[in-house]
Structure 1
Amino acid sequence: MMRHFVRPEGTPPVNGYSHAVRFTGPMVAVSGQIPADAQGQVVGEGDAEAQIRQVFVNLATALAAAGAAMEHVVKLTVYLTDLADLETFRRVRDEFLDPARPPACSLVKVAGLVHPAFRVEVDALAELPAGA
């Protein structure tokens, strides 16, 4: 059972995330997903939208392997090398996650990621559904 506390009284406004998410049961931790395809090739070099989309595809694939799906995500940690990509990130994120039930989220602006062409990396915590 998951319950989203998008904006409890006394907390600042949000833009696509919940201040808290309460859940019960087992969970899965997904390592930072990068903008690389199944062959390890960088996707969308210089193209923030293509990179963000690939990261979410990789995230969904990793979750599925563990028996979960995007709707089970309770927390994201987002690493962006350029905050100018934030609006694009939010738009693409909302294609993969239900904006009415957003996960908790942390955003970190970083000087760089493991590969100089990477603009984004995202890791996640997800609730495992019953029977998974």
Structure 2
Amino acid sequence: MMQHFVRPDGTPPVNGYSHAVKFTGPMVAISGQVPADALGRVVGAGDSEAQIRQVFANLATALKATGADMDHVVKLTVYLTDLADLEAFRRVRDEFLGTARPPACSLVKVAGLVHPAFRVEIDALAELPAGA
């Protein structure tokens, strides 16, 4: 069971995330996913939306391996090298996660990531569904 507290009384406004998410049961941690394909090639060099889309596809693939999917995401941690990419992140996030039950989220601007062409990295915590 998962319960989203998008904006509890006394908290500031949000844009696509919940201030808190309460859940029961086992969980899985997904390591930071980067904009690389299954062969390790950079996807979308210079194209933030293509990179973010690849990162979410990689998150979905990793979640599927555990028996979970994007509906089970409890929290995201997002690392962007350029805050100008924030709108693209929000657009793609909403496509992959929807807007009805947004996860908790932290966003950090970083000076760089492990590969100089990477503009984004995202890790996730997810609730494992029963039987997974």
Per the shorter chain, which TM-score range? Answer: over 0.9
Amino acid in structure 1 at the alignment position of 2:66: A
| TM-score (normalised: structure 2) | 1.00
- Equivalence for 2:65: 65
The number of equivalent residue pairs is 132
Q: Deviations over 1:103-126 (max 9, x none)?
A: 000000000000000000000000
Q: Deviations over 1:10-58 (max 9, x none)?
A: 0000000000000000000000000000000000000000000000000
For residues 124 and 2 of structure 2, what CA distance do their matches in structure 1 show? 15
Q: CA RMSD in A?
A: 0.3
Partner-residue secondary structure (3-state), 2:129: coil
For residues 99 and 18 of structure 1, what CA distance do their matches in structure 2 show? 10
Identity of counterpart residues, as a percentage? Answer: 86
5 Å matches for 1:1-132? 1-132=1-132
| TM-score (normalised: structure 1) | 1.00
Q: Deviations over 1:65-93 (max 9, x none)?
A: 01100000000000000000000000000
Query: How far is the alpha carbon of 1:98 from its aligned partner?
Result: 1.9
**Which ranges in structure 2 are unaligned for 5 or more consecutive residues?**
none
**Which ranges in structure 1 are unaligned for 5 or more consecutive residues?**
none
For residues 7 and 98 of structure 1, what CA distance do their matches in structure 2 show? 17
